Chains A and B, each alone.
Chain A
Amino acid sequence: MHELGITQNIVAIVSEQAGGKKVVRVKLLIGALSAIEPEAIRFCFDICADGTSLKGAALEIEEVAGRGRCNQCGQELPLSLLAGVCDCGSRDLVCIAGQELKIKEMEVV
Chain B
Amino acid sequence: MCTTCGCGDDSKPVVVNMETGQSHPVSNDSPDHSHSHDHGHEHSHDHTHDHSHSHDHPHDHDHSHSHDHSHSHDHRHDHGQLHATETSTTITLEANILAKNDRLAERNRGFFQALNILAVNLVSSPGSGKTSLLERTISDLKTEMQFYVIEGDQATLNDAERIKRTGAPVVQINTGAGCHLDAEMLARGLTELNPPKDSIIMIENVGNLVCPALFDLGEKCKVAVLSITEGEDKPIKYPHMFRAAEILLLNKIDLLPHLKFDLDACKNYALSVNPKIKIFEVSATTGQGLDSWYSWLKANLQHHAKSVEKVL
CB–CB B239/A81 < 8 A:
yes
CB–CB A83/B272 < 8 A:
yes
Bound complex: CA of A4 vs CA of B7, how far in Å? 11
Residues A12 and B31 in contact in the complex (CB < 8 Å), given A35-B214, A47-B5, A50-B64:
yes
Query: Does any Cβ of B come within 8 Å of A13's Cβ?
Result: yes
Interface residues of B, dominant DSSP: loop
CB–CB B97/A47 < 8 A:
no
Q: Which residues of B have CB within 8 Å of A13? A: 93, 95, 97, 99-100
Minimum Cβ distance to chain A for residue B29 (Å): 12
Minimum Cβ distance to chain B for residue A5 (Å): 7
Minimum Cβ distance to chain A for residue B66 (Å): 11
Complex: chain B residue closest to A106, CB-CB: B91
Partner of B93, one of A6, A12, A36, A104: A104
Minimum Cβ distance to chain A for residue B44 (Å): 18
CB–CB B82/A102 < 8 A:
no
- Number of residues on chain B facing chain A (CB within 8 A): 55
The 0/1 profile, CB within 8 Å of A marked 1, for residues 232-255 of chain B is 000010011001000000000000
Query: Does any Cβ of B come within 8 Å of A75's Cβ?
Result: no
Could you name 20 residue pairs across A and B whose Cβ atoms are closer than 8 Å? A2-B211, A4-B177, A9-B32, A24-B84, A35-B210, A35-B214, A47-B4, A47-B5, A50-B4, A83-B236, A85-B272, A101-B98, A102-B97, A104-B92, A105-B92, A106-B90, A106-B91, A107-B89, A108-B91, A109-B88
